[in-house]
Homo-oligomer: A and B are copies of this chain.
Amino acid sequence: MVQAIVFDAYGTLFDVHSVEKKAEQLFPGNGREISERWRQKQIEYTFLRQLMGIYEPFSKVTTDSLRYTCKELELELGESDEQALRNEYLNLDVFQEAKGVLEGLNDYQRVIFSNGSRDMIEPLVSQSVISSLIHKIISVNDYKQYKPVPASYQSVLRNLNVKRDEVLFVSANGWDIIGASAFGFRTAWVNRKHLPLEELDVRPDIESADLSGVLRLLNHTD
């Protein structure tokens, strides 16, 4: 039986593409592309640092991936632009349905488990409308193991003192859902972009267009 609902943060509860507005203001005509490439590169750098064994915290990875993105797009990123865009990550929009869904889960422990380092994820959550609805934040930076390696998901068990199948893990990132499913969590994939399931021979327990699918799953099965 599910004891804890564990949410990914970026892309799942918080909209990383909220940065587009500021990016567009600083680099007119390029906001969308900066936002998309930055996010892609940020994820890629967590994968690569994990694979190569050269871990650095998400705050550094986020800056590095922004710098790469601007070089690739041939945009000159001044120090104040960089600071302004980094700051956007501390004030991302919460997805519209998130508050209501979290309120509906009041029988469960509600946890965030994020690649974000505490200097990024803690101010983001505490300044948001869902702050009081989250019991605990687990950062991969405490163990320096990025998702989706098994050692990373293992840190959730250690923190919450639960078994694998007592966790319902919720993420909008397909690779994160596959990693968590392969590890043995129950999983809900929030497929906001209506993407195909990754062809990695692992399936989530449910798929839903937004977070409300989590409520439906729990009403049916618990």
* Main DSSP-derived SS at the A contact region: helix
A50 cross-chain contacts in B, Cβ below 8 A:
51
Q: In this assembly, does A49 line the interface, its C-beta being within 8 Å of a C-beta of chain B? A: yes
Q: Which of A164-208 contact B (CB under 8 A)?
A: 175, 178-179, 182, 195-196, 198-202
Write out, one digit per residue, whether chain A residues 55-74 have a CB within 8 A of any chain B CB (1) or not (0).
01000000011011001100
Decide: B148 and A71 in contact? CB cutoff 8 A.
no
Decide: B148 and A64 in contact? CB cutoff 8 A.
no
Decide: A199 and B54 in contact? CB cutoff 8 A.
no
Interface size class of A (residues with CB under 8 A): 20 to 34
Q: Which of B49, B64, B65, B200 contacts A54 (CB 8 A)?
A: B200
Q: A204 to chain B: closest CB distance in Å?
A: 14
Q: Which residue of B has the minimal Cβ distance to A196?
A: B71
Q: A60 to chain B: closest CB distance in Å?
A: 9
Write out, one digit per residue, whether chain A residues 99-136 have a CB within 8 A of any chain B CB (1) or not (0).
00000000000000000000000000000000000000
Decide: A47 and B45 in contact? CB cutoff 8 A.
no
Q: Which of B54, B64, B148, B195 contacts A48 (CB 8 A)?
A: B148
A199 cross-chain contacts in B, Cβ below 8 A:
45, 64-65, 67-68
Q: In this assembly, does A29 line the interface, its C-beta being within 8 Å of a C-beta of chain B? A: no
Given contacts A72-B195, A195-B72, contact A51 B200 (CB under 8 A): no
Could you write out 6 A-B pairs with CB less than 8 Å apart? A47-B51, A54-B182, A54-B200, A56-B201, A68-B196, A72-B195
